[in-house]
Structure 1
Amino acid sequence: MKIIDKIQQAMEAKEPFYSFEFFPPKTSAGVENLSARMERMATLEPLFVDVTWGAGGSTSDLTLAISANAQKYLGVEVLMHLTCTNLKVEEIKGALNKAREAGIQNILALRGDPAKGLGNWEAAEGGLRHAIDLVRLIREEHGDYFGVAVAGHPEGHVDGRTGAEEGGQDDDRRDEGWEALELKRLKEKVDAGADFVITQFFYDTEAFLSYVKRCREVGITCPIIPGIMAIQNYNAFARMTDFCETRVPSDVREALKPITSDDDAVKDYGVDLGIRMCKALTEAGTPGVVLKRVGCGGN
């Protein structure tokens, strides 16, 4: 079943929903742990689960295998990530065919992060350059079979930011006109055939709500689902927010300062913050959330 249909049903019934994002581990033991974790978490009845495609396409085969097994055995719809990084068009077509053969009917179409060792993103020879190209390819090759999601960036895509200071936390870090250009690109992806949007993670709920309002003003009418990533470890949190140039509100920074070396306290705070964010978004009319990086099953 297409996830967009499930989202629309939940919205019509005014029933808030959630989903889980998993990412492939690095070892066979990790794969076993992840399988067990996914099976346990499927009993919580998420609207869907999604499985990430490793940076630079590093986990492409594993992503396909995990997605296929989850689709077949867990009784939950799977949203399989697919990126353009390090893949030729024929390889992308092959991945889509394998996904379809496995009964997977939902794809999150992404450009992807740069390949390992490269500072800037580069298209593979004979590959695709942008997520919109992937959306178009999916529709050209498979018509309406796949439900397609795309990414949104409430605080702007990292490639559109300049002049960042102190790890990208400066509010004035973006090029002039970045917002109009990013909204234009998002609308083009939706017009090309995307069914809904899942956003990059954030810690400022007002930034997301403002983003949705701006999207509606330019004619983007599809569901926009926020990505929520709980803080589980301070060092990982610092790396991710620095890499993605995610703005961290001052109250979050102040709350974390005295507990940075206490993993349990950081995790407890992260859970509490995540709950508060989800409540605030739901009360503001957001139909559901994607809980990102809930597990990889270990290394």
Structure 2
Amino acid sequence: MCSAQDPAPDAKIIDLLSKKADNGIAHVSLEYFPPRTEQGVKNLHARMERMKTNTTALYTDMTWGAGGSTAELSLDLALHAHRTGHVSNLHLTCTNMEKDGDPVKAVREALQAAYDGGIRNIVALRGDPPEGSDEWTAAEGGFACALDLVRYIRKEFGDSFGISVAGYPEGHPNRISQLTDEEAANMSDSEKGRCCTHDGITYVCKDDDYKKEMDYLKEKVDAGGDFIITQMFFDAEVFKTFVKDCREWGINCPVVPGLMCINAYPGFKKMTKFCKTRVPKDLGEKMDAMKDDPDAVKKFGVTFGSEICRSLLDSGVEILHFYTLNLEKVVYGITDDLGITSGLVEKSDEKDAKDMVAVGSAWARVGDKVKGSAGEGVVKEMRKDGTAVIEVDGKDVEMAKGSYEKVFS
């Protein structure tokens, strides 16, 4: 029961999605992640409040963090969002969710705490691998996948929560395969439409694997998922094809496009390569041409973001879900350009950008740049105990967990 000081429980997002946006153009939703520092959290509180007011965001997502690293802070931030007037959408994963030897207990306690605090919306996810691991494995007796989590929430909490699930227009990264030259030359038309090339290597979710992805997505929706939020994409046609495929599979719930804001060249390159994201040739060329000009990249992020949003709106999309990266300037630039808002980009303040780094991003993975007592280099191997094998000045050096830190470009 809510006290006199507590806000009423949140509305379910699925009910809000059926209403037209007040601006007559589109709803906006915003996604944030838990920052690494206490000051970063304070700054994020202020930014979330500004952005909610400025964009009249329909709802606010808070991620659970890489490898389940931010469970307590994610919940605290999601509850803070609820208490300050946001419709809070809490990400919940199956990773690192264990308490007193029980891999289910921590999930139940997180859901109960969210419910007791007035949160009524959950994003049910499998989650990323835990620290020191490149592969995801289920805890014994725990959840094996997001479908298990959706089923559990519905079984234990009924319709108390609205549930959103992830959709992957290009296929889940785990189902995206590296192709030989011969395979790349013989892709089907549908594979050509979602393939990507990074460092001269072609990757794609093959048709048979894509069908398995769609079958699994339907299972998640049929088990209780109310709507879908997609993985980032940079080709609007990929999203449009995905929505068409959803309808052909009998998946008739809303599909919300997840839009990664382009804020910096290094982050763009790293994320697209890590997720094996399709990058249209002209986009890749433009990003490479301005890689040494951070201001130009941010400005282009607005231009490109506006273009892809217009294409989505023209196709009938009624909500734009921005992965903000805990920043505001590019989001404001896009919403101003679309006419959703006006005059916000001039008011944006990102002097605190260095505080807006994710907790989970402190974990090094293969390919990350790190520094330690032996110098600065690139991670070649991550071991389960957190030891990293790092190439420093052409030599492989082992650095124990805690003796190195990630370098942020």
Q: TM-score, normalised by structure 1?
A: 0.95
Other-structure match for 1:284? 315
Give matches, 1:46-85, under 5 Å: 46-73=57-84, 75-85=85-95
Residue among 96, 109, 112 paired with 1:97: 112
Indicate yes or no: 2:248 matched with 1:217: yes
User: For residues 141-197 of structure 1, what are the alpha-carbon distances to aligned partners after superposition, in whole Å with 9 as ceiling and x for unaligned?
Assistant: 110010000000000100111215853886653345011111100000000000000
SS in 2 for 1:43: helix
Residue among 220, 225, 228 paired with 2:259: 228
SS in 2 for 1:9: coil
Shift of the alpha carbon at 1:292? 0.6
Task: Please give the alpha-carbon distance, in whole angstroms, between the structure 1 residues aligned to 2:251 and 2:206.
Answer: 22
Other-structure match for 1:144? 159
30 and 172 in structure 1: CA distance in 2 versus 1, 3 angstrom threshold: closer
Give matches, 1:139-218, under 5 Å: 139-163=154-178, 167=198, 173-218=204-249
Task: Please give the alpha-carbon distance, in whole angstroms, between the structure 1 residues aligned to 2:200 and 2:162.
Answer: 35
One-letter amino acid matched to 1:281: L
Higher relative contact order (CA 8 A, sep 6+): 1
Task: Please give the alpha-carbon distance, in whole angstroms, between the structure 2 residues aligned to 1:169 and 1:92.
Answer: 42
Q: Is the 8 A contact 1:20 1:294 kept in 2?
A: no
Other-structure match for 1:247? 278
Structure 1's consecutive aligned runs of 4 or more residues displaced over 4 angstroms after TM superposition are 168-172
Task: Please give the alpha-carbon distance, in whole angstroms, between the structure 2 residues aligned to 1:248 and 1:33.
Answer: 32
Q: Is the 8 A contact 1:230 1:273 kept in 2?
A: no
Q: Give 1 or 2 for the bigger CA radius of gyration.
A: 2
Give matches, 1:90-129, under 5 Å: 90-129=105-144
Other-structure match for 1:30? 40
User: For residues 232-261 of structure 1, what are the alpha-carbon distances to aligned partners after superposition, in whole Å with 9 as ceiling and x for unaligned?
Assistant: 010011110011000100110111122101
Greater helix share, 1 or 2?
A: 1
Indicate yes or no: 2:191 matched with 1:133: no
Task: Please give the alpha-carbon distance, in whole angstroms, between the structure 2 residues aligned to 1:221 and 1:168.
Answer: 37
Q: Which runs of 5+ in 1 are unaligned?
A: none
Other-structure match for 1:17? 27
Indicate yes or no: 2:267 matched with 1:257: no
SS in 1 for 2:91: strand
SS in 2 for 1:63: helix
Percent identity over paired residues: 45
One-letter amino acid matched to 1:183: M
